[in-house]
Homo-oligomer: A and B are copies of this chain.
Amino acid sequence: MPRVSQDHLDARRRQILDGSRVCFARYGYEGATVRRLEEATGLSRGAIFHHFRDKESLFLALAEEDAARMADVVAAQGLVQVMRDLLSGAGEQPAEWLATRLEVSRRLRTDPEFRARWAERSQLLTQATKLRLQRKLEAGNLRDDVDVDVLTSYLELVLEGLVSHLAMGLPADDLGPVLDLVEESVRHQRVRASLEA
């Protein structure tokens, strides 16, 4: 068996993740058969499952990657920006991102075991949101009459609603002003008052 470099292993892993992301987005979790994953990645099942224990581990790796990417956007621009990206389709790979998220939502509903495996990963986004809000609070830009935990839950609830809305194929072209309202409602009262004046 030939020795392979770490670079080569990383590239392979990347190739599997990118291909399978498209495959999951198109066929859903159950529909993404091993044969289709082979086609989408251009690799054999042996190669794929050398890198990932099973299909669920592969899917969780994708979902985790998305959560990390979202957490980066949250840290820099806030959770409302994640929603704006989702709405405009201007974000990086928005379609696949949404598809993975929907698949996560669906499996959370139907699969208690998956729920447990996902719980720790979902903390990533919550923590990033909470940290961002905490910083805005310290800078005097966040309302201080409502607990940061409540504001975090609020923003996450709206995100979940947006994901569900888009998933149901409902019209989304009028949701920009709704997100403005959401953003405004977590701001400091003083900031809100000056904007409304």
Contact = CB atoms under 8 A, between A and B. Distances in A.
Contact of A157 (B112, B175, B193, B196): B175
A85 interface: no
A90 interface: no
Interface residues of A, number: 38
A167 B107 CA distance: 10
A2 interface: no
A77 interface: no
A160 interface: yes
A101 to B, nearest CB: 11
Contacts of A115: 168-169
Contacts of A102: 109
A181 B154 contact: yes
Nearest to A176: B150
26 contacts: A102-B109, A105-B164, A105-B167, A108-B168, A108-B169, A109-B169, A112-B169, A115-B168, A115-B169, A145-B196, A146-B181, A149-B174, A150-B178, A153-B178, A154-B178, A154-B182, A157-B161, A157-B162, A157-B165, A158-B158, A160-B164, A161-B161, A161-B162, A161-B164, A163-B164, A185-B185
